Amino acid sequence: MGASIIDSSIFGNIFSTDAMRAVWSDRNRTEKYLDIERALAVVQGRLGIIPQEAADEIVRNCDIDKIDMDKLRAQTERIGYPVLGVVSQLNALCRDKLGEYCHWGATTQDITDTATVMQIREGLEIIDVELAAISAALVELSRRYRDTPVIGRSNLQQAIPVTFGFKTASILAGIERHRERLAQLRPRVLMGEFGGACGTLASIEKGAMETQAGLMAELGLAQPDIAWHTVRDTIAEVGAFLGLVGGSLGKIAMDVKLMMQHEVAEVYEPFAPGRGSSSTMPQKRNPISSCYIHAAVSVVRQHAAALMDAMIADHERSTGPWEIEWIALPEAFCLLAGALKQTRFVLEGLEVDAGNMRRNIDLTKGLVMSEAVMMGLGPYIGREYAHDLVYDLCREAIDTNRPLLDILAEHPEINVHLDRAALARLCDPANYLGQAGVMVDKVLERAAGGRR
């Protein structure tokens, strides 16, 4: 019975995914413990640290299906940690007390931390795939709407025209930076732990560093230079990365929500019969995915902060901060997976209304082109004076509800320099898109380079 939103049989696949839940499940975590114990036995048998017969027997019994999960739960409740329960069961499965060589020289945190890193590796692979798909969707939107004017907004007010491709390419650039961050953090984060009680490997008299190196090679992880039991920057870095990605997804959701308002009606989440409808207002088409994204990534950011709090650990083995990670890390990954899925759904099926985008630009009857007019008049009457003059004429346009072009064309200080046709060109949104297209192309080129 799921009590959390992640494990809920009703909400679970809205706020997370089966694949990410599987990564952080009890079964997968326990299987990772066994993978590590198996690899440790293989390496130590090869090095002659434990008898080869014992290594073979341990390897034979490192099978998740042989672990009694109900018994493990009871053992964990009694002991406080699951690793010893797994080792105890594994020992009992081995013949002739050969299981006594299991876990040789390791400590609970070695196995726990290394398993967590292996789970992080699997979780990051899922995130990588989703980021690539989101990037591809943004590339398509940026190409298609490279030259489609849409009003740019500042402080929720109409500012100057941009293009919809410019909006999506700006977000695409951020997603591509996240993909770079992911590639960069992997070598730092995907590092195992094997240090023994306080990290010095004093429990293994000979072959300690060879055991550590061999174990990490077996698991496909980096070998640490020194123990990191209570130096948790790499785990916190993962949390910070999840928070950053979530922030970008939240930005997408925020803009979609605002642009879906009836008064704006520039984009819509993909349509499906009944999706987003209200129980009392049949006309509504609520931004369902965007709402879920917003909620999920807000919690992810809180978990990122919690993981940074867990960095403040005492001495060589901590009392409590470590356990913060057990709560925050799985939930952060699971919630971000849900937000990524929802974002991908929105972007791959986003409905764009270019006609309404142009209609909204024209709502102010030319006022949004005041900067263009000011800059066009600057060479004739000075930029600062042009600013003040155009400011006054904008107020007049608002008060009289007349098009700005008409008022500009009538003004003697303006029409002496620019006729109506020239002013009309200044007031045309398509002529004031700046370097939007150039910038979009640069982002698209960089994104294409990342796919080679």
**Whole-number Å distance between alpha carbons of 51 and 299:** 49
User: CA of 192: how far to CAs of 100, 119, 140, 143, in Å?
Assistant: 23, 11, 39, 42
Catalytic site residue 317?
yes
438 Cβ neighbours under 8 A, 6+ residues apart: none
Q: Residue 191: how many CB atoms within 10 A of its CB?
A: 18
Q: Residue 252: how many CB atoms within 10 A of its CB?
A: 26
Beta bridge partners of 162: 150
Give the three-class secondary structure for 77.
helix
Tokens of 52: 């080869």
Max Cα-Cα span within the chain: 105
Q: Residue 177: how many CB atoms within 10 A of its CB?
A: 13
> Phi/psi of residue 259, each to 5°?
-80, -15
Active-site pick, 278, 383, 395, 451? 278
- Given a contact cutoff of 8 angstroms between Cβ atoms, the answer to whether 402 and 383 are in contact is no
Catalytic site residue 278?
yes
- Given a contact cutoff of 8 angstroms between Cβ atoms, the answer to whether 117 and 52 are in contact is no
Active-site pick, 317, 402, 420, 446? 317
Give the three-class secondary structure for 403.
coil
**E strand or H helix at 42:** helix 26-47
Q: What is the DSSP string of 377-390?
A: HHHHH-HHHHHHHH
Q: Which residues are catalytic?
A: 278, 317
